Amino acid sequence: MARFIPAAQRAFVSAASKTLTNGSQSRTASAYSLLQFHPYATSQTHKSPFTANIIRILSNKIEYQHDYAPPHQPGEDSTGENVVLHISLLVDISKGQGYPDMEFLCSAWPDHLEIQKVYLLNRDKTIINPYMGRDLRRKKNRKLQRTLGDYLEERGVNNELCVFLHEYMMNKDRIELIQWLGNVKSIVQK
């Protein structure tokens, strides 16, 4: 198609210039200028139809995902039950040389943080002793869990962080899909 248009232009201009008189030279120039303007022509005219089709499909998919696709709502599955999901979270706190590190195993629920276990670790991340700590999810450990929760909250690990993590993870797949489609499109265009 890209080769056909310039060939047609040359044939049309040469035929028109042979048949027209001197008074109609302005019509030839205007006809030639009309053929020079291609509002439908882009740099993709040199691509094969297959490549152009792939680029068009990728562009449409990116536009749909970016503008129209509803955000993924976690917890909705095919059974219709609303399942509440949590994010497992490891929080390491270090006091510096000479002190063991504390590692908190937490569950970040959509509206709150739950501490499950606390480990004391050496600097090389090995456990200090075989005792693995208490399971803080039991009801008799609620006071200890609240106290440790306050300790983490002073360091910025709180319910607001849980809300942020869930909002971020909710659309993470969609954002990564848009980036991946853009990368594929740029490779196909080259």
Note the pLDDT tens digit of each residue in 1-26.
444 444 444 444 444 444 444 444 44
Q: What is the mean pLDDT of the chain?
A: 73
Question: Which pTM was predicted?
Answer: 0.51
Q: Give the three-state DSSP class for 72.
A: coil
Q: Name residue 108's beta-bridge partners.
A: 87, 113
Sequence length of the chain is 190
Q: Give the three-state DSSP class for 102.
A: strand
Task: Give percent of the chain with pLDDT exceeding 90.
Answer: 16
Strands (E), the chain: 87-93, 101-108, 113-121
Backbone angles phi, psi at 188, to 5 degrees: -65, -35
Task: Give percent of the chain with pLDDT exceeding 70.
Answer: 65
156 or 174: which carries more pLDDT confidence?
156
Q: Give the three-state DSSP class for 149.
A: helix
Note the pLDDT tens digit of each residue in 51-102.
888 888 888 888 887 776 665 554 554 555 666 788 999 999 998 888 888 8
pLDDT (0 to 100) of residue 44: 44
Binning the chain into helix, strand and coil, the percentages to the nearest 5 are: 55, 15, 35
